[in-house]
A = this chain, B = another copy of it.
Amino acid sequence: MSSTFGEIFRIHTYGESHGGGVGVIIDGCPPCIPVSLEDIQYQLDRRRPGQSEIVTPRKEADTAEVLSGLHDGKTLGTPISILVRNTDQRPSAYEEMAVKYRPSHADYTYDAKYGIRAPSGGGRASARETIGRVAAAAVGKQVLDKIAPGIEVLAWVKTIQHLEANVDPETVTAETIESNIVRTGDPEMAADMIEHIKKIRSDGNSVGGVIECVIRNCPPGLGEPIFDKLEAELAKAMLSIPATKGFEIGSGFSGTLLTGKEHNDPFVMKDGKIRTTSNHSGGVQGGISNGETIIFRVAFKPTATIISQQDTVTDKGENTTLQGRGRHDACVLPRAVPIVEAMATLVLTDHLLRQRAIMRV
């Protein structure tokens, strides 16, 4: 188990979906940063269950308690510990799953690795684990606002299965995205996406899609080659989110269809700054931000939990079938938008502090 992320601005998360609670310690946060409980709770509310009609109806308030590291609304420079209690637990709903491996879940692999697993609610593999990340990133956002004002991290649902939103990455706003419960940047497509998710859910089925994310006004110079290149860190951050299967930055996979003459981004002076006239690079060159908008996309598979009968095996190695039930998301993307933003924010905050450490005098 490796529940630490970041080098300077480091977070350590813990918690099973059922049990005492989930939470995070943030270590390495600069002192004297204003942080309010509201900043944290706002982000947790964006990812919590029960927030709209297209997400799981589980009822968890996900109320954050800050145990340490803040005084009079400012960071002390000491570890910030944030705890969210677990409340809505129905272990009985998981009795069958305790012995039958749910297909495309982590039940089997946890048993294979550890020889033991939390028998209910997905344990540590539950998406509930991301609460600590989101809470920590809410603090990270305050650090960015203070040290590098103007940086903006914004994600939205780009596709739900075959439905694709039309979004301008340079101009879309948080207000637009939050104005619809599916969290797409294209209000006209929102209704179709919501309708599609409802239909899929009524079929006992599930869907996935792609989340797109931009980082606007990122200063040049962030990213630590050779191995901690900014895109490598973002890729790791995104692929650590449950249900993700792919990551691409800038031109991504479709960039492989262009030639170098088409793909290269010419430099030009603009308002006294070095800029590029196109952005196939996606804001990163050689692993380091170049001052252009960073843009990347993350693929989410359809939710593994479906309400139908599936072939599987027991933990004793017998073939069997499993009838899915429970209260789950037919599509995780609306709730994953704040998680993608959170992981991007954590990468940025960490790299901003890393760059401070080595900056030239």
Contacts and interface: CB of A to CB of B under 8 A. Distances in A.
Identify whether the interface residues of A are mostly helix, strand, loop, or mixed: mixed
A166 interface: no
A150 interface: no
Contacts of A226: 1-3, 13, 124, 129, 240
Given A78-B1, A125-B286, A233-B236, A253 B245 contact: yes
A247 B274 contact: no
B27 A260 contact: no
Nearest to A208: B256
Contacts of A344: none
Q: How large is the interface on A (under 10, 10 to 19, 20 to 34, 35 or more residues)?
A: 35 or more
A356 B318 CA distance: 28
Nearest to A74: B116
A77 B358 contact: yes
Interface in A249-306: 249-253, 255-269, 272, 274, 276-277, 280-282, 284-291, 299-306
A12 B235 CA distance: 21
Interface in A181-230: 200, 205-210, 220-229
Interface in A331-361: 353-361
